[in-house]
Amino acid sequence: MLSFIIAATLIAATAAQACNYSSICANHTMCQYPTTNYGPNCLAPVYSGVNATTQQQIVDLHNNLRRKVAQGNETRGNPGPQPSAANMREFTWDDELATIAQRWANQCTFQHDTCRSVARFYVGQNLYMSLSTGTPNSIQNWTAAVQAWYDEVQNFNKSHINPFQFSSATGHYTQVVWADTYLVGCGFTAFNNSDGWYRKFYACNYGPGGNYLNGIMYKTGTACSQCPAGTICDNGLCA
Protein backbone atom coordinates (compact mmCIF):
# COMPACT_ATOMS: atom_id res chain seq x y z
CA MET A 1 0.00 0.00 0.00
CA LEU A 2 1.20 3.49 -0.84
CA SER A 3 0.38 6.62 1.13
CA PHE A 4 0.85 10.34 0.66
CA ILE A 5 0.43 13.40 2.86
CA ILE A 6 0.10 17.09 2.15
CA ALA A 7 0.27 20.16 4.42
CA ALA A 8 -1.71 23.38 4.24
CA THR A 9 -0.70 26.17 1.87
CA LEU A 10 -2.33 29.37 0.68
CA ILE A 11 -3.77 29.27 -2.85
CA ALA A 12 -5.05 32.19 -4.94
CA ALA A 13 -8.78 32.82 -4.63
CA THR A 14 -11.32 32.42 -7.43
CA ALA A 15 -14.94 33.51 -7.66
CA ALA A 16 -17.75 31.25 -6.46
CA GLN A 17 -21.44 31.51 -5.77
CA ALA A 18 -22.62 33.23 -2.62
CA CYS A 19 -23.29 31.11 0.46
CA ASN A 20 -23.16 31.42 4.24
CA TYR A 21 -19.36 31.55 4.04
CA SER A 22 -19.10 34.05 1.19
CA SER A 23 -18.31 36.88 3.62
CA ILE A 24 -15.12 34.98 4.53
CA CYS A 25 -14.15 34.29 0.92
CA ALA A 26 -16.12 33.88 -2.28
CA ASN A 27 -14.36 30.63 -3.15
CA HIS A 28 -14.92 28.94 0.20
CA THR A 29 -15.22 25.15 -0.05
CA MET A 30 -18.83 25.29 1.14
CA CYS A 31 -19.61 27.84 -1.60
CA GLN A 32 -17.79 26.05 -4.40
CA TYR A 33 -19.41 22.72 -3.51
CA PRO A 34 -22.86 23.54 -2.10
CA THR A 35 -24.11 19.93 -2.00
CA THR A 36 -22.82 16.74 -0.41
CA ASN A 37 -22.52 15.06 -3.83
CA TYR A 38 -19.25 13.44 -4.82
CA GLY A 39 -17.01 15.42 -7.15
CA PRO A 40 -16.05 14.27 -10.67
CA ASN A 41 -12.71 12.90 -9.45
CA CYS A 42 -14.58 10.31 -7.36
CA LEU A 43 -15.12 7.98 -10.31
CA ALA A 44 -16.40 5.09 -8.20
CA PRO A 45 -17.15 6.18 -4.61
CA VAL A 46 -17.20 3.42 -2.00
CA TYR A 47 -17.81 5.16 1.33
CA SER A 48 -17.56 8.54 3.02
CA GLY A 49 -18.02 9.97 6.50
CA VAL A 50 -16.63 9.71 10.03
CA ASN A 51 -18.85 8.21 12.74
CA ALA A 52 -18.91 9.22 16.40
CA THR A 53 -16.62 6.41 17.54
CA THR A 54 -14.03 7.33 14.93
CA GLN A 55 -14.34 11.02 15.80
CA GLN A 56 -13.28 10.24 19.36
CA GLN A 57 -10.46 8.04 18.10
CA ILE A 58 -9.13 10.92 16.00
CA VAL A 59 -9.26 13.30 18.97
CA ASP A 60 -7.50 10.78 21.21
CA LEU A 61 -4.78 10.10 18.63
CA HIS A 62 -3.99 13.80 18.43
CA ASN A 63 -4.11 14.35 22.18
CA ASN A 64 -1.84 11.39 22.94
CA LEU A 65 0.81 12.78 20.60
CA ARG A 66 0.38 16.32 21.92
CA ARG A 67 0.86 14.99 25.46
CA LYS A 68 4.03 13.25 24.37
CA VAL A 69 5.49 16.58 23.32
CA ALA A 70 3.99 18.59 26.18
CA GLN A 71 5.48 16.24 28.78
CA GLY A 72 8.91 16.31 27.15
CA ASN A 73 8.87 12.69 26.01
CA GLU A 74 9.66 13.23 22.32
CA THR A 75 13.34 12.42 21.79
CA ARG A 76 13.42 12.79 18.02
CA GLY A 77 14.26 15.89 16.01
CA ASN A 78 16.89 17.50 13.83
CA PRO A 79 18.18 18.15 16.38
CA GLY A 80 16.15 16.67 19.23
CA PRO A 81 14.87 16.05 21.77
CA GLN A 82 11.85 18.34 21.61
CA PRO A 83 11.36 20.59 24.65
CA SER A 84 8.25 20.23 26.79
CA ALA A 85 5.30 22.58 26.24
CA ALA A 86 3.86 24.81 28.96
CA ASN A 87 0.63 25.82 27.16
CA MET A 88 -0.44 22.91 24.92
CA ARG A 89 -4.24 22.85 24.56
CA GLU A 90 -6.29 19.66 24.59
CA PHE A 91 -8.18 18.87 21.37
CA THR A 92 -11.94 18.45 21.11
CA TRP A 93 -14.07 17.64 18.06
CA ASP A 94 -15.69 20.46 16.10
CA ASP A 95 -18.66 19.70 13.85
CA GLU A 96 -18.28 22.78 11.67
CA LEU A 97 -14.66 21.99 10.87
CA ALA A 98 -15.65 18.38 10.19
CA THR A 99 -18.45 19.37 7.81
CA ILE A 100 -16.06 21.47 5.75
CA ALA A 101 -13.38 18.76 5.80
CA GLN A 102 -15.91 16.16 4.64
CA ARG A 103 -17.16 18.42 1.86
CA TRP A 104 -13.58 18.68 0.59
CA ALA A 105 -12.92 14.95 1.02
CA ASN A 106 -15.99 14.30 -1.15
CA GLN A 107 -14.19 16.00 -4.05
CA CYS A 108 -11.52 13.25 -4.09
CA THR A 109 -8.86 15.81 -5.00
CA PHE A 110 -5.56 15.32 -3.20
CA GLN A 111 -4.60 18.94 -2.75
CA HIS A 112 -5.67 21.67 -0.36
CA ASP A 113 -8.93 23.49 -0.82
CA THR A 114 -8.55 27.18 -1.51
CA CYS A 115 -10.46 28.53 1.50
CA ARG A 116 -11.80 26.66 4.54
CA SER A 117 -11.73 29.26 7.32
CA VAL A 118 -14.73 29.98 9.53
CA ALA A 119 -16.03 33.14 11.21
CA ARG A 120 -14.25 32.21 14.44
CA PHE A 121 -10.73 31.82 13.06
CA TYR A 122 -8.33 30.78 10.31
CA VAL A 123 -8.41 27.02 9.72
CA GLY A 124 -5.37 24.82 9.09
CA GLN A 125 -5.45 21.49 7.28
CA ASN A 126 -3.60 18.18 6.98
CA LEU A 127 -4.30 15.64 4.22
CA TYR A 128 -3.35 11.99 3.79
CA MET A 129 -4.12 9.45 1.08
CA SER A 130 -3.48 5.71 0.92
CA LEU A 131 -3.49 3.69 -2.31
CA SER A 132 -4.11 -0.02 -2.65
CA THR A 133 -4.95 -2.62 -5.27
CA GLY A 134 -6.91 -4.66 -2.71
CA THR A 135 -10.65 -5.14 -2.43
CA PRO A 136 -12.44 -1.82 -1.79
CA ASN A 137 -13.73 -1.39 1.77
CA SER A 138 -14.76 1.32 4.21
CA ILE A 139 -12.12 0.58 6.87
CA GLN A 140 -10.43 3.77 8.07
CA ASN A 141 -6.88 3.81 9.40
CA TRP A 142 -6.64 7.14 11.17
CA THR A 143 -3.73 5.87 13.25
CA ALA A 144 -1.62 5.68 10.09
CA ALA A 145 -2.72 9.13 8.93
CA VAL A 146 -2.18 11.02 12.18
CA GLN A 147 1.05 9.17 12.95
CA ALA A 148 2.42 9.96 9.49
CA TRP A 149 1.77 13.66 10.07
CA TYR A 150 3.33 13.57 13.51
CA ASP A 151 6.39 11.53 12.49
CA GLU A 152 7.75 14.53 10.61
CA VAL A 153 9.07 15.47 14.06
CA GLN A 154 12.21 13.56 13.10
CA ASN A 155 13.03 16.43 10.72
CA PHE A 156 12.03 19.28 13.04
CA ASN A 157 14.64 21.68 14.39
CA LYS A 158 13.68 22.53 17.96
CA SER A 159 15.17 26.00 17.57
CA HIS A 160 12.28 26.81 15.19
CA ILE A 161 9.63 26.73 17.94
CA ASN A 162 9.95 30.40 18.89
CA PRO A 163 10.02 32.25 16.61
CA PHE A 164 8.36 29.64 14.46
CA GLN A 165 10.01 28.85 11.14
CA PHE A 166 7.90 26.90 8.66
CA SER A 167 9.24 24.00 6.61
CA SER A 168 7.26 21.91 4.14
CA ALA A 169 9.10 18.87 5.52
CA THR A 170 7.55 19.33 8.98
CA GLY A 171 4.33 21.30 8.39
CA HIS A 172 2.01 18.43 9.31
CA TYR A 173 3.82 17.83 12.60
CA THR A 174 3.83 21.49 13.56
CA GLN A 175 0.08 21.80 12.94
CA VAL A 176 -0.62 18.65 14.97
CA VAL A 177 1.22 20.09 18.00
CA TRP A 178 0.53 23.82 17.56
CA ALA A 179 -0.27 24.84 21.15
CA ASP A 180 -3.13 27.29 20.53
CA THR A 181 -5.04 24.92 18.25
CA TYR A 182 -7.72 23.13 20.27
CA LEU A 183 -10.40 22.05 17.77
CA VAL A 184 -10.26 19.40 15.06
CA GLY A 185 -12.79 18.07 12.55
CA CYS A 186 -12.10 15.51 9.85
CA GLY A 187 -13.57 13.89 6.76
CA PHE A 188 -12.97 10.64 4.88
CA THR A 189 -13.80 9.27 1.45
CA ALA A 190 -12.88 5.93 -0.15
CA PHE A 191 -13.10 5.60 -3.93
CA ASN A 192 -11.85 3.74 -6.98
CA ASN A 193 -10.14 5.49 -9.86
CA SER A 194 -9.57 4.70 -13.53
CA ASP A 195 -5.89 3.87 -12.97
CA GLY A 196 -6.75 0.70 -11.03
CA TRP A 197 -5.77 2.08 -7.61
CA TYR A 198 -8.24 2.09 -4.74
CA ARG A 199 -7.85 5.27 -2.69
CA LYS A 200 -8.70 6.39 0.85
CA PHE A 201 -8.62 10.15 1.37
CA TYR A 202 -8.27 11.58 4.90
CA ALA A 203 -8.70 15.31 5.63
CA CYS A 204 -8.45 17.09 8.99
CA ASN A 205 -9.20 20.76 9.61
CA TYR A 206 -7.76 22.55 12.64
CA GLY A 207 -8.81 25.66 14.49
CA PRO A 208 -7.46 28.09 15.21
CA GLY A 209 -4.98 27.10 12.52
CA GLY A 210 -1.26 27.14 13.24
CA ASN A 211 1.99 27.36 11.26
CA TYR A 212 2.22 31.14 11.53
CA LEU A 213 5.63 32.35 10.38
CA ASN A 214 7.44 34.06 13.28
CA GLY A 215 4.64 33.04 15.65
CA ILE A 216 5.06 30.85 18.72
CA MET A 217 4.50 27.15 18.10
CA TYR A 218 4.31 26.61 21.85
CA LYS A 219 5.78 28.05 25.02
CA THR A 220 8.54 25.83 26.33
CA GLY A 221 8.48 24.83 29.98
CA THR A 222 6.87 22.38 32.38
CA ALA A 223 3.63 20.92 31.02
CA CYS A 224 0.58 22.97 32.05
CA SER A 225 2.70 25.63 33.76
CA GLN A 226 1.31 28.37 31.47
CA CYS A 227 -2.20 27.17 30.63
CA PRO A 228 -4.50 29.86 29.18
CA ALA A 229 -7.05 31.45 31.50
CA GLY A 230 -10.19 29.36 31.85
CA THR A 231 -8.43 26.03 31.28
CA ILE A 232 -7.21 23.38 33.71
CA CYS A 233 -4.47 20.77 33.44
CA ASP A 234 -5.49 17.35 32.13
CA ASN A 235 -2.47 15.07 32.20
CA GLY A 236 -0.13 17.56 30.57
CA LEU A 237 -2.64 19.36 28.33
CA CYS A 238 -4.65 22.51 29.03
CA ALA A 239 -8.33 21.54 28.83
For 195, phi and psi rounded to 5 degrees? -85, 0
Question: Could you state, in order of their start, the residue ranges of all structural domains in the chain?
Answer: 44-212
pLDDT in 10s for each residue of the chain, 239 residues? 556 565 543 322 333 345 999 999 999 999 999 999 999 999 999 999 999 999 999 999 999 999 999 999 999 999 999 999 999 999 999 999 999 999 999 999 999 999 999 999 999 999 999 999 887 788 999 999 999 999 999 999 999 999 999 999 999 999 999 999 999 999 999 999 888 899 999 999 999 999 999 999 999 999 999 999 999 999 999 99
Whether residue 82 contacts residue 173, with contact meaning beta carbons closer than 8 Å, is answered with no
For 61, phi and psi rounded to 5 degrees? -60, -45
pLDDT of residue 18: 54
pLDDT of residue 77: 98
Cα-based torsion angle of the residue sequence 115, 119, 120, 123 in order, rounded to the nearest 10 degrees: 0
Prediction pTM value: 0.92
pLDDT of residue 32: 96
pLDDT of residue 136: 79
Instruction: Mention the CATH class of domain 44-212.
Output: alpha beta
For 203, phi and psi rounded to 5 degrees? -135, 130
